[in-house]
Structure 1
Amino acid sequence: MTPTTQPLFWRDTALPFVELRHIIDGHKVRYVPHSHEQWSIGAILGGESAYLCADRIYDVAAGDLVIMNPQLVHACNPKVGSPWSYYMLHVDCDWLAKLLHRNGVRSTPSWEPSQTDWLTSPDLFERYKAMAEILFSEYGAQSDKTAALESFLCHLFESIDKAAAQESKLPVTPNKLARVANYLLEHCHLETPIEDIADQFGYSASYLTRQFKQYYKMTPHAYRLNRRIQLGQLALKNGVPIAEVANAFGFSDQAHFQRVFKERVAATPNQYRSIHR
């Protein structure tokens, strides 16, 4: 992989609630539908893309911001022949909720999902780029990085909440289906057949798959696999060897883990561990 296509990750132990990724040349990147534990926002720096968010599809291009709530299935892939570069910021929801409450942006310190998938705002776009450049800077003071991050997020959510009335609410998931999802999250390392899980919760396998895909936008198996990758990312950031991560989370071998990981993170596990400061 050439330097222009090498994904760059920024992380800092002093700011453990945030991660920033920079893809400089991603015209060959292809994501499968996936989700994140964190609240996420991307800034498209170049090219055009089809952005799938739950069951909504948008045509987005350079200058746009794309937004994903935690556990919301999405995929954003460049159009054929188009260049593709972007920043992607992942933020811990509990920390973000307290930040917004402390600064008077929201009335509660508990996390409430944003209702906007996509924004076109030259002001917010330029603020995002300026914030990202400060975080990636090798010479910026820690206080400057924290101030830039917090200022951007507060200003952003003031705009997001104003636009919320124009967006439809996320569908309410049936309680029993939510219990299946929770089971898959808690037991993602097990290879329990989906048929057995369906029977345990009073579904047929085919009906569970149809209902699950309707509300979660992926099959139960894909949902379980996605959770393994989420936990794998956390383990890699904590320095666990790749082979141990692959084995701990139920992958048949390291090659299988690497393939599934790259489909959802647009980087190999080894690249993900590489931190650019």
Structure 2
Amino acid sequence: MSPRLLVMLMIGLSSLQVAAAQKSTDAHKRPAKQAADKRASAKAPTNWLQVEMAGDDGVAALYRDQLLSWYRTSGTMDERELAALPEADYFAFRPDLTSFSIDSGPSAGQWTFAPPDQGRWPGAAVQVIDRSDAANYRILARVHCDAATESCRKLRADTASMAPPEPVTSDESASYDAWRRLIEKEACAPAPKAMPAPRYPASLARHGEGGRVELRLLVNPCGEVRAVRLSGSSGFPQLDQSAIDTAWEWRVQSERQESGAIVRVPVDFVPPQFEAAPGGRAERASR
């Protein structure tokens, strides 16, 4: 018996966004409009982003410290293995552990490290610092790498064209509104719709505990999720978090619209109610 999970999609748009979506259904005009949007996006100044170059000194040591800290707190190693970590010159790089958030000190910011060659620590990284205030959306990106290398020049170019990250300011602030307008006109490529179902915690499903999680998402014109908000709790934090975590991976539409939108998604975690009895007859499962 496996739990059943229903995911339903309801799109809530403002009147302007509805009008934009209706216009985008004109199949003859859409290709020209997409090309114009792409050209406009390429020419638009990124006055919200400042990119600085920094040396590569300290990148390997910083990554090593962050990875060691993760191993000490993740429970993936026993005490003997943990005791040997400080003496390790190198240990297997985790491809899924390239990003760390540092909250304070001179290294504060969201760090993304470039995957290193086997047997070596990362030698390049990008540090993203949110400098937004209530009135202005501002992001500083420091590129840490050897400026003489081609890979470093590419990393800087990629950083200069980065997607605008969500600011830490209030949803009601002018800076957050400025970021949201950037997302609504973000250059992007359409792709097939993808909304994988969130994981249903087995312990809750087994005890018949379910509920509805209401999510409010900000998506770009291609339906990629750029912000997730919990607008209605199921009453079970595990279900709420499972829905939130999975929503970041969603693409809620397959065609590019003229503008991004606010998308409201109710996610129903429905516990199993029936199980097959002998002879094929379905009976209510006991709890």
TM over 0.5: no
Structure with higher helix content: 1
Which of the pair has more CA radius of gyration?
A: 2
TM-score of the aligned structures, taking structure 1 as reference length: 0.25
Q: TM-score, normalised by structure 2?
A: 0.24
More strand by share: 2
